[in-house]
Amino acid sequence: MAFPANSIGKYKIGRTIGEGSFAKVKLAVDSTNGQYVAIKTIDKHKVMESDLKYQVKREIRTMKLLHHPNIVRIHEVLGTKTKIYIVMEYVPGGQLTDKMSYAKKLEEREARRLFQQLIDAVDYCHNNGVYHRDLKPENLLLDQKGNLKVSDFGLSALQKPGCTLTTACGSPSYVAPELLTNKGYDGAAADVWSCGVILFELLAGHLPFDDSNLINLYKKICRAEYTCPEWFTEDQKKLLSRILDTNPESRMTIPDIVEDKWFQKDYVPACGYEGDEIIHLEDVNAAFDSIEQEIASEANNPNSSSFINAFKLIAMSHDLDLSGLFEEKSKYKQTTMFGSKNTINETVKKIEAAATDVSLSVERTKHHKIRMHPKQKMTRCSRSYLDISAEVIEVAPTDCVIEVSKSSGDLQVYEEFCKTLSSLLTQKSGVPSQMEDPEEVVVDSKYIEESECSEGKNYTENKDPRGYSST
């Protein structure tokens, strides 16, 4: 299906109001009724090349499922051979961040009203099994009447009953402490924590947890180290202390928040619509069909790799590990992290070369994991088991993180292997080493890894100044 250059179906296209790596968001007008809409235009090739099809489907399915006055709606999905068009509700007031930038802190009455609307929207999401996981002012829009609307469900998850989420994602200053332990967590409790951070910011004009050093920031979050301004009332302090509880088991729930005395003042609940309608994805499925057929005809590469999560990288690194705040570290496993400025396949070859140099045999396993053992056979008298493994995780097409670990065996061989690998990683393919250290790996916190309890993999979002995110 082809559309005129200045239109998409019945929609007349206007100016760009948002732009990201894979998409642009444009203001448009429905020619049948004159209603303004926002249309997100997604590049199919980039989505499929980055294996983000299921992430796009999940965001569309989630936003179709939710019908609440404080949540941005999707009207329909259109597609051509190269583009996907998501037609959304247009929210003219921009981000809550814009309001905060000039208003600084809000008056108590206004802050409470927006917080009430946020809680209503999040409660509705949770009742429909949806957990946002990236609540922050940038993802909260304001309509022409100043009412709040939640947007950007790109990191959302559909949590099954009795199941925990495992993907650590979101924005550093708003993330709940349990997400930093690299373990399972409850999506509802994590969203409540983010709501508490937003409430503090509305009332104080600044974040409760803020530090230019990411590790120091996470330590403050894990210990709930924050100071309330002098103008905070006792009711406000009490409510925040119960929401910003580092223990998710004792943290305030949404029903508890709704019953709070401070919250109840001037409270007018906003009711969502019952989710009786069946959610159909035929439109978005059809939008992907042509590009899938095209890709299927190309060379098949079964060894697809996933992007590393910044939270997982922190949990993997001993120097950055925050698990000591919660549990005792293992005394036996030895782990070393490397950064590689090579593709994932080139990195694997360098690991194999380093293993050969120190007389280790290599056994490849799935998902770019490698196990190494001594080549010579062990005798009963001189049995010295050696178990070294390496995992390669792609950060970007030419940037990888390598985690090398030794669970048993000779420390000297392990150190020799690490030294050899470090030397090889300084060399680009076919280029002699310049005797420089492997470059430090920088990871964007919006790279995410799929939860076991949600559909597909998460995806990277770039924010635009009007509050419409672009995949």
Which residue numbers are catalytic? 134
d(CA 244, CA 193): 6
φ/ψ (deg, to 5) at 93 = -80, -5
Largest CA distance in the chain: 87
d(CA 300, CA 230): 62
Residue with tokens 């470059």: 439
Mention every residue, 6+ apart, whose C-beta is less than 8 A from residue 359.
374, 375, 376
Q: Count of CB atoms within 10 A of residue 297's CB?
A: 8
Cβ pair 216, 263 in contact under 8 A: no
Q: Binding site for ATP: which residues?
A: 40
Cβ pair 122, 136 in contact under 8 A: no
420 CA to centre of own chain = 35
Q: Are strands 11-19 and 399-408 parallel, antiparallel or unpaired?
A: unpaired
DSSP-derived secondary structure for 292-323 = HHHHHTS--------BPPHHHHHHH-TTT--G
Q: Count of CB atoms within 10 A of residue 134's CB?
A: 23
Q: Binding site: which residues?
A: 40
d(CA 3, CA 1): 7
Helix residue ranges, H only, 381-431: 411-425
d(CA 295, CA 298): 5
Helix residue ranges, H only, 93-212: 96-103, 108-127, 187-204
d(CA 277, CA 112): 32
Mention every residue, 6+ apart, whose C-beta is less than 8 A from residue 145.
none
Cβ pair 129, 171 in contact under 8 A: no
